[in-house]
Chain A
């Protein structure tokens, strides 16, 4: 009788431990999302026009941080919890005069590719952005990994443009 009770107790203990481990797996992951990502731009006003008026992104925060300083973030329309910081390249706390100048030149030359944007229809998006004056270095082309186009922002940063696959969020 005592043995049966112990077996039931052990079984319940195991079940409890299993539930606890499941809880930890679901709720205690170390990193669960990205909230901010930075793009270095040459001019924030011009970048605002490019990302908001041409690409159609939403302004998340536009805050004056003191003389000549501005915190400007935008989000892709379907991804409001990822803020893209349009970071001006200025000498100060983050750059020396020399490194700011070097960084500006690298950005202008198109050294940096900052990521991949997705759209529902790449041909329509390509036509629309082209009509708005966005510079493409590659028209939509079928590659083994999907259809892709490449474009530059107003500073010189380049991005890949891809089309969402069926069922992709």
Chain B
């Protein structure tokens, strides 16, 4: 079977293209109608196909990407309010509540927890390496 012979390749390509667009522009004001237009689908057909492939509607996926990116920035020590706007949210309260719903912990507590882990990794890295590997590499 050649590379392009699998079912409905053009549909997959358009949906994947839309998903990558969200991945790359999550921090901007994304209009999902425009994405559907760009993918040459009607809005409802687009949402149905996107959900079938990724298990989330495009809007839910956009929120998911923003929260994931926020986690990444918070882990790196960015303040909560800066993170909120950096990932495309316009309201700190909606960011905090969506973050807590997804991560099960508030952005402030998330940051504190990861800063603690980061400090531990820096101070006692051997605590994160299985003993056999540490020994084999001569890390004591």
Contact = CB atoms under 8 A, between A and B. Distances in A.
Given A63-B121, A93-B138, A128 B16 contact: yes
Interface string B5-16: 011010011011
Q: How many B residues touch the partner, as a band?
A: 20 to 34
B129 A63 contact: yes
A141 B138 contact: no
A167 interface: no
Given A65-B129, A123-B12, A94 B53 contact: no
B6 A69 contact: no
A69 B19 CA distance: 36
Interface string B117-140: 000011001001110010011110
B16 to A, nearest CB: 4
Interface in A83-131: 85, 92-94, 120-121, 123-124, 127-128, 131
Q: How many A residues touch the partner, as a band?
A: 20 to 34
B54 interface: yes
Nearest to A128: B16
Contact of B125 (A71, A121, A131): A71
B6 A93 contact: no
Contacts of A120: 53-55
B136 A124 contact: no
Nearest to B5: A139
Contacts of B9: 123, 127
A128 to B, nearest CB: 5
B13 A127 contact: yes
A36 B130 contact: yes
A127 B12 contact: yes
29 contacts: A36-B130, A36-B133, A61-B121, A61-B129, A63-B121, A63-B122, A63-B125, A63-B129, A65-B125, A69-B139, A71-B125, A71-B128, A71-B133, A92-B138, A93-B136, A94-B137, A120-B53, A120-B55, A121-B53, A121-B54, A123-B6, A124-B12, A124-B15, A124-B16, A124-B19, A127-B16, A128-B19, A139-B4, A142-B1
